[in-house]
């Protein structure tokens, strides 16, 4: 593989975000009327507007788009987000008790199932060098709550899964490579061992600028965000922003991405949904301070492959999203700075997402 010269990397702010999340019971009856209220009443799910529908999103991230096969090499995710009016009661009660969530925000729940694969630069070697990205796979399911009010979105998600052979990374990659005619990977015997995978994620986004150009055809917005993750898979804090420009911008936060990444959403809403054609260009930048990355640090307990990770990682993305009625398609080009000391070039990969509303 020929060496590549990295473009100027986005600045990586050394920001460590203190993440304090408080979970509360999600079930139970209300107290008797005579008892004083211990907390504000949970927000009732908003009545479903005629254009408010659930969204099913399929997402594929892969470096094959750029003739690469290394490091974070593949990710797939299937996400379902019901309409706001179909938000279950437990989600409203839980959101009402989460610190920082607006008590009167519109609450939405999201479910996802995904798999991510990691490999070294040279997959044709049975015993990769010790300073190469370890082979690893992550199979995970997640449930998340999103609350939005006045252009501010809060999101919390819990992901449970497995890292290791039980995540089925070897059979997945070998099957796909057989279908597309790519070289077969030979080093999966060196992958990380099986380990339960837990990840708690919190994100907050603010839409700081929104407007229309002269004539009203074009629209734009600018949305900074901060987030933090805690778990044995990833522990990090990040800060970044996304800008969009186009026609009939939806009231979401950009295309869905697999963590760690810039934030997006697995649903589409807004003025253009279900009514016609819309499109927008987008770009984003993010800096991450990484404390834990199991795919570089290795298994939490016992011996496994590992490399010396970099604490500060930056990411840049650009892309295009188009929507027509209840279908939307987006493509994102991602550049990610080197994540470990012996990595000699930045990574890049593509992400394509297809969303259907019904």
Token pair for residue 318? 């650009």
Token pair for residue 49? 């507007």
Element (H, E) at 237: strand 234-247
- What pLDDT, on a 0 to 100 scale, did the predictor assign at position 29? 37
What are the mean pLDDT values of the chain's consecutive 10-residue runs (358 residues total)?
43 36 36 46 47 87 90 95 89 87 85 96 96 98 91 92 98 95 95 98 90 84 95 97 92 84 60 68 97 98 95 97 92 97 95 93
**Cα 290 to Cα 229: distance, rounded to the nearest angstrom:** 9
What are the C-alpha distances in Å from 189 to residues 134, 269, 343, 351? 11, 45, 22, 28
Instruction: Residue 128: name the closest of 189, 76, 179 by CA.
Output: 189
- The number of beta carbons lying within 10 Å of the beta carbon of residue 209 is 12
Element (H, E) at 91: helix 89-97
- What pLDDT, on a 0 to 100 scale, did the predictor assign at position 9? 43
- What pLDDT, on a 0 to 100 scale, did the predictor assign at position 21? 32
- What pLDDT, on a 0 to 100 scale, did the predictor assign at position 267? 56
Q: What single-letter DSSP state applies at residue 29?
A: P
DSSP string, 268-301: --STTTTTSEEEEEEEEEEEEEEEEEHHHH--SS
293 strand-pairing partners: 234
**Cα 118 to Cα 133: distance, rounded to the nearest angstrom:** 7
Instruction: Residue 63: name the closest of 270, 355, 333, 354 by CA.
Output: 333
Instruction: Residue 52: name the closest of 13, 73, 82, 79 by CA.
Output: 82
**Cα 156 to Cα 310: distance, rounded to the nearest angstrom:** 26
CATH number, domain 55-357: 2.40.128.140
- What pLDDT, on a 0 to 100 scale, did the predictor assign at position 158? 95
Token pair for residue 189? 């015997």
Backbone angles phi, psi at 130, to 5 degrees: -65, -20
């Amino acid at each position: 593989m020929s060496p590549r010269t990295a473009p100027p990397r986005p600045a990586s702010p050394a920001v460590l975000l203190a993440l304090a999340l408080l979970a509360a019971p999600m079930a139970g009856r209300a107290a008797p009327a005579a008892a004083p209220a211990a907390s504000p009443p949970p927000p009732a799910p908003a009545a479903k507007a005629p254009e408010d529908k659930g969204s099913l999103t399929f997402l594929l991230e892969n470096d094959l788009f750029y003739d690469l096969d290394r490091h974070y090499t593949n990710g797939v995710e299937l996400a379902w987000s019901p309409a706001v009016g179909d938000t279950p009661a437990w989600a409203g009660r839980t959101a009402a008790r989460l610190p920082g969530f607006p008590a009167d925000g519109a609450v939405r729940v999201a479910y996802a199932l995904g798999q991510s694969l990691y490999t070294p630069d040279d997959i044709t070697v049975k015993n990769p060098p010790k300073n190469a990205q370890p082979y690893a796979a992550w199979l995970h399911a997640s449930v998340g709550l999103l609350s939005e009010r006045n252009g501010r979105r809060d999101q919390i998600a819990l992901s449970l899964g497995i890292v290791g052979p039980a995540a089925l990374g070897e059979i997945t990659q070998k099957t796909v490579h057989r279908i597309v005619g790519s070289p077969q990977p030979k080093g999966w015997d060196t992958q990380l061992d099986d380990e339960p995978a837990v990840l708690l994620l919190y994100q907050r986004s603010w839409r700081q600028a929104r407007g229309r150009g002269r004539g009203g055809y074009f629209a734009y917005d600018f949305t900074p965000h901060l987030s933090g993750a805690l778990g044995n898979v990833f522990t990090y804090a990040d800060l970044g922003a996304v800008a969009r420009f186009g026609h009939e911008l939806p009231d979401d936060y950009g295309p869905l991405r697999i963590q760690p990444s810039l934030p997006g959403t697995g649903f589409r809403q807004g003025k253009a949904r279900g009514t016609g054609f819309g499109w927008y260009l987008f770009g984003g930048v993010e800096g991450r301070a990484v404390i834990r990355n199991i795919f570089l640090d290795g298994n939490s307990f016992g011996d496994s492959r590992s490399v010396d990770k970099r604490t500060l990682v930056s990411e840049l993305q650009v892309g295009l999203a188009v929507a027509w009625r209840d279908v939307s398609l987006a493509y994102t080009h991602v550049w990610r700075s080197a994540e470990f000391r012996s990595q000699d070039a930045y990574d890049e990969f593509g992400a394509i997402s297809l969303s259907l509303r019904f």
